[in-house]
Amino acid sequence: MHPKVDILGIQVSSISNTNLLAAFSDCIVNKQFAQVSITPVNSILAALKKEEVKQVYNNSEFVICDSVPMQWSSVFLGTPIIERITGLDLLPDLVALCAQKDFSIFLLGASPGVGEQLKQVILQKYPHCRIVGIYVPPFMKVFSADENQRMVNAVNAAGADVLLVSLTAPKQDIWIAQNRAVLKTPLCVGIGGAFEVMAGLAKRSPKWMHKAGLEWLYRFAQEPKRLFRRYFMEAPLFIPLVIKQKWGNSK
């Protein structure tokens, strides 16, 4: 068990990257199922809008802080989160762990060709790393029952130790939660757009922007039309809600 911090009703993990990877290893070795949800601000706001999403995060074994505002808010609330861990940082660390421990990986999601490119990048660095399956479902807002079953069957047939799901948040987290009872993979991680970055198909912001908490600005410059609503209409709602939580807890 590890401590969690309440941010707007979502229990966010307070754990270092080193301890997180050690916990992952334990889950795999002991065949103990764990869902990992990587949560930026937009995921927290999605949880406020829909109870199902809130339950998904609060039932996840690990809810990772992938946001500078979330980390700042935890300090403001008096319960600092130990470390911010982005999906872009976690993916290469987790792949390295799998290569070292001989844990097998299944890649689910992203656009056609991304998984294959990522596999080649991983094998170039870790020739003995076991990528035991890749599956790219068709783009659907909600997967049909038949498609969902094909996804589950593909994952289970591969017998992977780690399932990496790239369907964007919170869709990927909902999918894992809805299928956790039938998935045979011990560790299931909603990893977001990290596939494209590690595969070399998308650029990450410069390190100084990442350290300054400005990675969102770099992403917005890359995809302004898609991300305008997220960063300039939804995200500004977050801070006033955190202030309200602080005032409510101080009464």
pLDDT confidence of residue 212: 67
The whole-angstrom separation of Cα 176 and Cα 44 is 17
The whole-angstrom separation of Cα 84 and Cα 65 is 5
DSSP string, 112-147: TTHHHHHHHHHHHH-TT--EEEEE-PPP-SS--HHH
User: How many residues does this entry show for the chain?
Assistant: 251
pLDDT confidence of residue 150: 97
pLDDT confidence of residue 222: 74
162's enclosing H/E stretch is strand 162-166
Residue type, position 20, single letter: L
The whole-angstrom separation of Cα 139 and Cα 178 is 18
Tell me which DSSP letter residue 233 carries.
Answer: I
pLDDT confidence of residue 230: 66
pLDDT confidence of residue 218: 64
pLDDT tens, per residue, the chain with 251 residues: 899 999 999 999 999 999 999 999 999 999 999 999 999 898 999 999 999 999 999 999 999 999 888 999 999 999 999 999 999 999 999 999 999 999 999 999 999 999 999 999 999 999 999 999 999 999 888 999 999 999 999 999 999 999 999 998 899 999 999 999 999 999 999 999 899 999 999 877 677 676 767 676 667 677 777 766 766 667 788 989 999 999 887 55
pLDDT confidence of residue 227: 66
- Using alpha carbons, select from 66, 44, 18 the residue that is nearest to residue 210: 66
Q: What are phi and psi of 35, to 5 degrees?
A: -100, 135
pTM (predicted TM-score): 0.92
Residue 35: how many other CB atoms lie within 10 Å: 22
Rounded to the nearest 10°, the torsion over CA 246, 4, 198, 213 is: 20
